[in-house]
Amino acid sequence: MFQGLRWRLLIYYLTVIASILSVFVAGVYVFFGRTLYRQLDKKLLTLAQSAASSFSSVENQGESYLTNVDKVPWRDIFNRDKQSLEWFNADGDLLGSKGFFQLEIPPQPGALNGVVNFYPDQDSPEESTQVSIRAYTISVFKDSNVPDNPATLEGYIRASQSIEEIDAVQNRLFLVLIGGAGVTLILSGLGGIWLTHEAISPIRTSFLKLKQFTADASHELRGPLTAIKASVDIMKTHPERVHPKDAKKIMAISSATDQMGQLIEDLLFLARTDKKVVLPTREKKSVSLESILQNIVILLEPCAQEKKITLTSKLDSGFFVLGDISQLTRLFSNLLQNALQYTPEGGNVTLELLKQNRSAIITIKDTGIGISTEQLPYIFDRFWRADKARSRREGGTGLGLSIVKAIAENHGGKISVTSNVNVGSCFQVRLPLLNYSGAKIISNKVTSKL
Ligand SMILES: Nc1ncnc2c1ncn2[C@@H]1O[C@H](COP(=O)(O)OP(=O)(O)OP(=O)(O)O)[C@@H](O)[C@H]1O
Ligand SMILES: [Mg+2]
């Protein structure tokens, strides 16, 4: 129980840390990416602005100016292996270019990303690679000599550069961030294991104390209760000694004592089972499910007859499980008692035992009041009982099904339930079989309608 809670807490904790880390990683990645692009844009803008002084020469002399001239103002900041400069006239026609590639799109002022075909070997144009680039285009204006007359557009200059370096830096940054987040998550997980252990410890201690108290109190209450029961039984066996006016009170005390005795037994059983005292193997022995179920049917037949309920049993024989007879008897009699208690007069209760793979499946089905879907998750909780007005049964403690579940789990089994209000319920217990030696169907129908 605490182990499950601890893992749940740890998973919630790690989910929160992982969400914070992902937001952080995404934020840092986007922020650095933008900063790198902003720096590159500034560089390209400076390059384009320094190339603007050559605009008139390129416009007049074309490509020949660029091939012949050695000293240009932008020479020192221009890297011909990674960058490219292009001059366009006002109509967007290329006047000249310098650098290792050309973008085949018309100039658009501002920054843009693109992909160009790059030919490493000029002699073999078929061997091209695709290069991602960033381009920055500025507009060049001719100063007007006429005052108050706006400057006219002369053309455009586009400076571009490959963004392989930025991509590489971004990839490295991503790997570092993911690696860092992974390490942080692992360390948080280790820290979380310790934290959840520390957080659960006080709860576990008080829960264990409470359980110990329940076990001790129920155990200690047994003695005085046995004494009361013995005295009441003596009074019941000698009615002549009791004043007739007190006879009813004696019967009330006797019934209350029985009820209290049952409650104390149930509490003691649950407190002990919670300590995970799984029965030692030597105390468990091979038991026949069929004989246990038949005995229960015989025991509860009168009860079914009293309520005019048709109790049908269909039991395959030859199934043995490793278990404790009294506990298994309690498990199935609790379920069958519930089926009879929560089924109105004239209803049907069916008990079935069959094999599925290596398990025995015991099904207890009734046509009773049923349990609503909202209430189904709680029925195995201690002291939980559906609305008394609906179940019309007083005196139950609400411990029956929690004991059923504890016994089934103690025997390596499972219990499941399906139910529909006013249609009926179906409880199914699955127990691992010890061995299987052929099955013979014993069908037994006890029709108790009078
Ligand atoms: N076969 C059933 N059909 C309808 N409701 C059921 C059935 N079995 C159990 N329930 C509901 O589940 C509740 C819990 O059952 P559980 O056996 O644990 O307690 P109980 O029968 O009320 O008391 P007791 O401890 O005496 O068995 C019941 O009060 C009842 O509302
Ligand atoms: Mg019950």
CA distance 170 to 194: 36
Relative to beta strand 348-356, strand 310-316 is parallel
User: Within a domain: residue 411?
Assistant: yes
Shared domain for 238 and 291, answered yes or no, is no
- In the predicted structure, residue 445 carries a pLDDT above the cut 90: no
Are residues 290 and 385 both part of a single domain?
yes
Tell me: the pLDDT tens digits for 159-218? 999 898 899 999 999 999 999 999 999 999 999 999 999 998 998 888 888 888 888 888
Residue of minimum CA distance from atom 9 in ligand 1: 338
- Cα(337) to centroid(ligand 2), Å: 6
Residue 169 domain flag: no
Specify whether the CB–CB gap between 287 and 320 falls below 8 A: yes
Question: What spacing in Å lies between the alpha carbon of 208 and ligand 2's midpoint?
Answer: 26
Classify residue 348: in a domain, yes or no. Answer: yes
E strands of 102-194, at which residues? 110-118, 129-142, 152-162
- Give the pair of three-digit tokens for residue 302: 């009168």
Provide the token pair at 441: 């169907």
Residues 100 and 224 in one domain: no
At 428, which CATH number? 3.30.565.10
- What is the whole-number distance in angstroms between the Cα of residue 280 and the centre of ligand 1? 30
Q: 329 vs 283, which has greater pLDDT?
A: 329
With beta carbons less than 8 A apart as the criterion, state whether 312 and 375 touch: no
Placement of tokens 């209000």 in the chain: 421
Name residues contacting ligand 1 (CB within 6 A).
338-339, 342, 366, 368-371, 379, 384-386, 391, 396-401, 425
Kindly report, residue by residue over 220-239, the tens digit of the pLDDT. Answer: 888 888 889 999 999 989 88
- Residue closest via CA to ligand 1's atom 28 equals 385
Q: Which of 228, 255, 274 is the last residue of a domain?
A: 274
Sign of CA dihedral 402, 273, 223, 217: negative
Determine contact, residues 312/437, Cβ cutoff 8 Å.
no
Residues 345, 391, single domain; the answer is yes
Q: Are residues 150 and 11 in the same domain?
A: yes
Range of the domain at 367: 281-446
Domain termination site, one of 239, 274, 309: 274
Has residue 136 been placed in a domain?
A: yes
Contact 140, 151 (CB under 8 A): no
For residue range 374-414, what is the model confidence (pLDDT) as tens digits?
Answer: 999 999 988 888 875 455 555 677 888 988 998 999 899 99
Judge whether 168 lies within some domain.
no
Whether pTM exceeds 0.75: no
> CA-to-CA distance for 9 and 3, rounded, in angstroms?
10
Query: Rounded CA gap, 186 and 188, in Å?
Result: 5
Residues 125 and 189 in one domain: no
217 and 285 housed in the same domain: no
Residue nearest to atom 10 of ligand 1 (CA): 338
Bridge-based pairing of strands 359-366 and 424-432 is: antiparallel
Q: Tell me the CA–centroid distance for residue 341 and ligand 1, in Å.
A: 8
How much is the pLDDT for 279?
Answer: 44
Query: Residue 118 falls within a domain, yes or no?
Result: yes
Report the distance separating Cα 204 and Cα 246, nearest Å: 48
**Is 435 in the same domain as 300?**
yes
Ligand 2 ion: Cβ-proximal residues, 5 Å cutoff: 338, 400
Q: Are residues 237 and 385 in the same domain?
A: no
118 with 226, same domain?
no
- Residue 419 lies inside a defined structural domain of this protein: yes
Please state the domain count of the chain: 3
- Please tell me what DSSP assigns to residue 368: S
Mutate which of 330, 379, 381, 419 for ligand 1? The one with the most ligand atoms within 8 Å of its CB, which is 379
Task: Indicate if 253 and 341 belong to the same structural domain.
Answer: no
429 close to 410: Cβ distance less than 8 angstroms: no
Q: How many CB atoms lie within 10 A of CB 246?
A: 11
Sheet holding 129-142, edge to edge: 94-99, 83-89, 152-162, 129-142, 110-118
pLDDT(275) > 60: no
Q: How far apart are the first and last CA of the chain?
A: 48
Within-domain flag for 167: no
- Ligand 2 mean position, distance from CA 427 (Å): 13
The residue whose CB lies within 8 Å of the most ligand 1 atoms, and thus the one to mutate among 342, 350, 365, is 342
- The CATH code of the domain that includes 264 is 1.10.287.130
Q: Give the amino acid at 233.
A: D
Neighbour order of strands in the sheet with 435-436 = 285-288, 319-323, 435-436
Domain boundary, last residue among 102, 132, 162: 162
Residues 186 and 137 in one domain: no
